[in-house]
Copies of this chain bind each other. A is one copy, B any other.
């Protein structure tokens, strides 16, 4: 029944469990209807609304897990950081963190009340039989946003801080790790039975920089949560061996063949890696690709089927529904 949890514990499932990163959100008309004019972060903090958005893709597609609808900056917002999600841009911070003094001011902040998150997750855990997947952003990705003040391609300012003031960097990342861990723990307290940590930007680092200045903090965020953990990044083939040491399940983007990931993370269940660019291709092309991904997943002890990145906002939701049905009939 809970094939997602079984696979995460390393027990191969046939067919593999399936869910989609960003399954809750912009690709669904029912999401666009309930979000309407409500700003993103406000929607995340209304428990009934966040719960409904979390459940929409489970109702519609029949996926095997319900990733909690939220945003990785929510713990920062709850800590009092002035951040908004600018439509079409991403998180924008009123005061970017650039100096030792900025870091010192920031890291004195804590979150004391996670009830908005707990209340939302509790509704979903009560309503659904599939497991709730707790959601959080990795320390480097949070720090990259905080230092840049907004999304950027190269995260140059963040990486410059890392090289210029390592003590400040480590204080910043330790604080991000503590906050995102608190965010995930709140979801677990309220009923989430598995957790995924997203490190969207770690791929911009060399392995040496990642291992020395980032991995310890991601590892601290993920350690001993009491539920299976999934760790995912984009463009992280060169980091996979290190990332695997911090997690139970290794998320794999569509650039990295699952066979290669299985060699880089031996003994670990894998998650991924249907190419999101295939979702808009003709059905027979997509189906053949999914067959190939399922076959490649057999290189790992167990496999959770997912995309190699989030659902693109332009995705036809009927393709996702058909895809889930296709996998469920898979031999």
Contacts and interface: CB of A to CB of B under 8 A. Distances in A.
Q: Is the interface of A mostly helix, strand, loop or mixed?
A: helix
A208 B258 CA distance: 12
A156 interface: yes
B255 A206 contact: yes
Given A154-B309, A237-B237, A256-B238, A160 B278 contact: yes
A276 interface: yes
A128 interface: no
Interface string A129-163: 00000000000000000000000001111011011
Interface stretch (A32-40, A73-81, A186-194, A280-288): A280-288
Interface residues of A, number: 35
Contact of A238 (B160, B162, B237): B237
A312 interface: yes
Contacts of A163: 275, 277-278, 281, 285, 289
A106 to B, nearest CB: 20
A205 interface: yes
A2 interface: no
Interface of A: 154-157, 159-160, 162-164, 203-208, 235, 237-238, 254-257, 275-282, 285, 289, 309, 312, 314
